[in-house]
Structures are given as structure tokens and as C-alpha cells.
A and B are shown apart, each in its own frame.
Chain A
Amino acid sequence: MKVVVCVKQIPDPADPGALDPESKTLVRDAKLILDESDSYGVEMALQLVDAAGEGEVHLVSMAPNNETAGLRTALAMGAASATLISDEALKGSDALGTAKVLAAAIARQEPDLVLAATESSDGYTGTVPEQVAALMDLPSVTFAKSVAVDGGAAKVQRQTEAGYDEVTCPLPALVSVTAGVVEPRYPSFKGIMAAKSKPVETVTAADLGVTSVGWEGSGQTVASVEQAPAREAGTIIEDDGESFGKIVEYLETIKVI
């Protein structure tokens, strides 16, 4: 079974983000890491291939500047190989443009199953997995909290507003997984060493036959960026054993009690 996992390499969320004042898009020039949301998909894929007894996990990522640091983390976890789409022309791509590029790169792998996170931790548009499925004419199950493969079909528990649904979906298919679907493993030292020599193919949008990408293909322009009105500073006190009384008082003031 071949599983392709979409992974995003993002600026470390521990570093506060910024918008480029010129282009008004997220600045992505700092060192990139594997989006933690994607580590769940990588782990899920590794476990499904294990359970199937054969197959491999391939990664697909789109990132500027030939960035592979995040990919190496996922390779160290156990993925076999990766495709990196890195292309100046992709700068400014909207979610649909990104999905077109990813879908073209994924299709070349002819996967049985495509996994993705429900949304990235930096841009969180949250539409790319379903757009990729639509572009590839695949059925899809989003917001999975459990995934198994049985007899050529994915059996998924899908989050809903009220609880969850059990969904069956014939392969090939795309499944987007929520955080917590599995516990991602830490790369072992051996894994980290092995990852250094695993194949990462770098391609451009043109290599994939995808045109009209980046700023040119984007259906949106940023009109303005403004600071949200700040909340007024509150009262911060150190607990002296009696501070619960302040909370009671506050709740009385706002008439909650």
C-alpha cells in the first residue's frame, strides 16, 4: 500500500509570526520546521503501512528556498521518500493554487491513500485537503479521529458537531486527520541518520505542468492590515490564598451570580 502524506514546513510557532509589510503575506524566511499538525498524518501513514504488511510512505511538500528541514523530520520518523515543490513562481499562491500543485505532485505517485492534516498551524485556511481530493477526483473523508484500512476501503471515525460518524470509503481516497488521531513517534537517532540519505526529489510547478500559479493565479488581494482594538488591561493579582474572593466579587459585578 502506498500512502502519500501532505506535509507543510512552517516557521516555528514559538517564534511570533509577522506579515510582510510589502506583500502582506506571512513572512516565511526563518528556518522552517515540520508542522506539528502533520506529524499525526505521518504517524498514521506509518502505522497503516505497518498494518498492511507492505508498502511505503511518501511525503509531498511545497515550500520556498528548497527547504527540507521539516521533511527530514518526517523522513526520520520513517517515511521512505519525498517530493518537494519549490519554485519562486509559487510565491503568493492562494489555497486553490497550492492544492493544484500538491494534487499534481501526489498524482504522480499513484497512491492508494492520501493523508493530510485538517489545517496547517500557520495559515489554517483548512480547505487544501478537500481541494486536493476534488482535483484528483478522489472520494474523501475529513476530520478523521481514527483510520483503519480493510479490504480496499478506509474505515474512518469522522468528527461531527454532535459526536462522530463511522464512514467507509473505497480506496484510492483522501483522508484528513485531526490532531490526536495517533501519538506521533519521536525520530530515533538511527532514523535521523537514515533520513539524511533518503531521496527527496525537488520539482517546479512547470515540471508538474501546473501553470498560472503564484500571485498571477491567485483570486485574492490583501486590501488592508490593521491592528485589532486591544482589550483594556485588566487587574492581575498574586494569589494569597484568598484570591478566590476576588473572582466571586467579579462574578457578582457582572451579575453572573
Chain B
Amino acid sequence: MSSTMTSTKASLNGKVAVAQTPSSANPVGDFFQETIALTRRLFIQLQRRPSTLIAGIIQPLMWLILFGALFQNAPQGLFGDNVNYGQFLGAGVIVFTAFGGALNAGLPVMFDREFGFLNRLLVAPLSSRYSIVAASAIFITAMSLIQTAAIVAMSAFLGAGLPDALGLGLVALIVLLLVVGVTALSLGLAFSLPGHIELIAVIFVTNLPLLFASTALVPLAFMPIWLQWVATLNPLSYAIEPIRYIYLHDNWSLNSIVMQAPWGQVTLGTALLILLSFAAAVLLSIQPRLRRSLA
């Protein structure tokens, strides 16, 4: 598309400049330009206010150290053959940290809504207003991967071992799928709820219960049956169990059975499919809300 529609008009400092109209540009290039600029803003914020990232790295490390120590004297073999609690816990902390970060993804958007900054974006001739959502998702994903890397490194240091390259790639993919789904959920909430107080309340009541009703801290077999049902309906478990399996077994494959749910066995492949469906379902379900706000 090189047919440029340009019009000349006197620029503000008296020189003649070329004023561009949106029809002259290609929509894909425009989408990248605006998404990159919006993402850059979030990274500048992070760079100037690094406290969230620092806290986001320190917190899971504390989990690893303190929670690991809490169960240090648990009877051998309680969490599986030749598995100490530190090895068991790593997967839970990775997933829980990524989940917490993604759940908070909507907060900056909510503040932009409340302070009117979103209006600045909405009056601009964006190629697609989904660039606003895309920028948040890119940012949160990058944050989660940095945190995951820190947890993986710390776990290795604490003696939990390190999966091979392919295993690490799969861990990253699992984190990515969960983060996309949860980020979408949080952004959907950020456009539906009236203000940040309500959003924080929702985050607050979602965060810890979902952690305790998952296999992050204890194996499924420890739980009463009703909680096993809840935990196997919790998407977090479908991220935790595959990562844990990859950590504990060198010879993993997509057919490996990673979870013994009360209703049957779950393979690594199935878990991935369920995470993918979760992300897709959330993305689809927030479409109407986003379209109303961003159409």
C-alpha cells in the first residue's frame, strides 16, 4: 500500500510539513507502532518504579525458602519417592507467582480509566483499540517470564534440580498459557468493575483461595475428596502438575500421567489442552465487554 494520501499544510512553526492521514498507512504497521509505544510506556513505568518487579521476585523466593523450611522435617517419601518438599514446591511457586502477576494486570488499566488517561488513548486514531489490551498482555507476560526465571534459578540453587532445555521451554509455554488466560480475565474485570477498590477486592478474594484449592502446596492425595474435585477443576492445577512432573521426571512425554484426578487420569498433553482452552474461553468471553468499551 504505497498510495500515499498526503496533504500539505502550514506546520505550527511556519514550515510546511506533510500531514498524514490514517488511510495512507498500513493498518498492521500502525497496530505495531501503537502497541510498541503503549508497551514502552509500561516498561518505562517499571524502570522508574522497579518496586513491583523487585517485590515480585523477592516474594516467591521467600515462599521457596520459608515454605520449604516449614515442611523440611516432613517424613521422607511423603511427597513422592526421593522427593523433598523444596523440589515439590518449586512448580507451585512458579505458577502461583505468574498467576498473581497476571491477576493484577487489570489494575494499571483501571487506573487509566479512573484518571482519564484511557480517554487520551480512545480519542486517538488507533488502528485497533485492542493494542491497549495487547500492550498489557505483552508486559505482564514478560514480567512473569522474568519471575519464573528467578524462581527456576533459586530452586536449582536450593537443590530442586533443573529441567533440560526442552523441559524449560515447556515450563515457559505453560506459564504463558496461564498468564494469557488470567490476564484476559483481569482486563475484562478492569473494564467491567466500577473502580480499583472493587477490582482489588476481587483479586483479594480470588488469589489465596485458588492457591489453597490447587496442588501448589500439597499433593492431591492429601486432600479430602471434595477438595480433590475442586482442585482438579482449578486451572492452576493444570499448570502446576505438568511443571512439577517435568521437574521430577527426566523422561517426561506428552502421554505422561501428571495428575490422578478423582474422575480419571490427566496426561501432560491433556493438561496443556485444558490450559489452552481456558485461555481461549476467557479471551472469547471478554470480547463483548471489550467491544463495548473499545469499539
Is B a genuine binding partner of A?
A: no
Residues of B within 8 A of A (CB): none
